[in-house]
Structure 1
Amino acid sequence: MPAVVAPAAWAARLGRDQHRDVHPDGSATGPYEACQVIGLVLTLPAPVRGAASRHHTAGAVPGTTAGLTAASHDRSDDAGGLSAVGAGTVTAGSLAVTAAVSAVITPAARPGRPTGARRPTAPPSSAPRGAR
């Protein structure tokens, strides 16, 4: 699921804005605004948590990483190779963050028991085995 959700979230948040903003002094920024990137970052933990809580860490970490890397790798106007640098940065960042989120969530998601709960133990009985 994260391998499908990640590129869809990228397309929804960042895919529609592909132009740079040129300021009066000649400098250019973009193509993304900070709020778009923050929106993407806030969207992705839900599918990672969903997969990791079901102990599908192998799908959560590489799935999200591969989905974001594929979606973000824009080769359309790259003459200098910076597209590959950007894709590498996205790969490293998403791999690190999804691995950290999964590492925190997977041990906490134990089926049938709340996190930190201990099984009650019966006190030792002093009565003989057949006398109960």
Structure 2
Amino acid sequence: MAQRPLKLVPQLMAILALAVITLAMWAAWLGWDQHRDVHPDGSETGPYEAWQVIGLVLTLLAPVYWAASRRYFAGAVLGVTAGLTAAAAYDWSDDSSGLYMVGVGMVMVGSLVVTGAVSAVIASVKTRTGSARQRS
């Protein structure tokens, strides 16, 4: 019984650490760009460019790998999901259409699914490489 709370503390710390890292990465990659591009036909795109979103995703792979390889699955999945959801909600809350919550929900579900899948793959690969090392 005494070890159970000790295992919970690292998971909670991983969740908090990854949420803070994710918020910082959102600010670094997406937070500064609030300009929408207006095209000649009057349509708008943006404010983010594809390279910014790709950079954010690639940057977040490192902390997800760190957490998943240490078996902090809750930290990897919930920390990144919470960070991205909070950042999107804050960043998009000034949307006048009122549809920003749909986008925030999509970010939440998408990041939950993707970080869960990536964490499972990392854990699977780490388990296989660990088993192979023990056999040799």
> TM-score of the superposition, structure 1-length normalised?
0.81
Corresponding position: 1:17 with 2:33: yes
> TM-score of the superposition, structure 2-length normalised?
0.79
Corresponding position: 1:75 with 2:90: no
Deviations 1:57-97 (A, max 9, x none): 01110100000000011212x23321101101110111111
Provide the C-alpha distance between the structure 2 equivalents of 1:34 and 1:118, rounded to a whole number of angstroms. 40
> Counterpart amino acid of 1:92?
V
Cα-Cα RMSD: 2.0
How many pairs were matched up? 118
Q: How does 1:36-47 map to 2 (within 5 A)?
A: 36-47=52-63
Deviations 1:100-125 (A, max 9, x none): 01111123335xx93441645xxxxx
Percent identity between the two aligned chains: 63
Q: Does the residue aligned with 1:93 lie in a helix, a strand or coil?
A: helix
- Structure 1 or 2, whichever has the larger Rg, is 1
Provide the C-alpha distance between the structure 2 equivalents of 1:90 and 1:81, rounded to a whole number of angstroms. 16
Provide the C-alpha distance between the structure 2 equivalents of 1:80 and 1:118, rounded to a whole number of angstroms. 55
Provide the C-alpha distance between the structure 1 equivalents of 2:129 and 2:74, rounded to a whole number of angstroms. 23
Q: How does 1:113-124 map to 2 (within 5 A)?
A: 114-117=129-132, 119-120=134-135
Contact 1:72 1:87 in 2 (8 A): yes
The structure-2 alpha-carbon separation of the partners of 1:37 and 1:53, relative to structure 1 and needing over 3 Å to count, comes to same
Corresponding position: 1:30 with 2:39: no
Provide the C-alpha distance between the structure 2 equivalents of 1:85 and 1:40, rounded to a whole number of angstroms. 21
Contact 1:54 1:109 in 2 (8 A): no
Corresponding position: 1:4 with 2:33: no
Q: Mean alpha-carbon deviation: is it higher for 51-60 or for 18-27?
A: 18-27
In structure 1, list runs of 5 or more residues that go unmatched.
121-132
Contact 1:61 1:98 in 2 (8 A): yes
The structure-2 alpha-carbon separation of the partners of 1:119 and 1:19, relative to structure 1 and needing over 3 Å to count, comes to closer
Q: Which residue of 2 aligns with 1:88?
A: 105
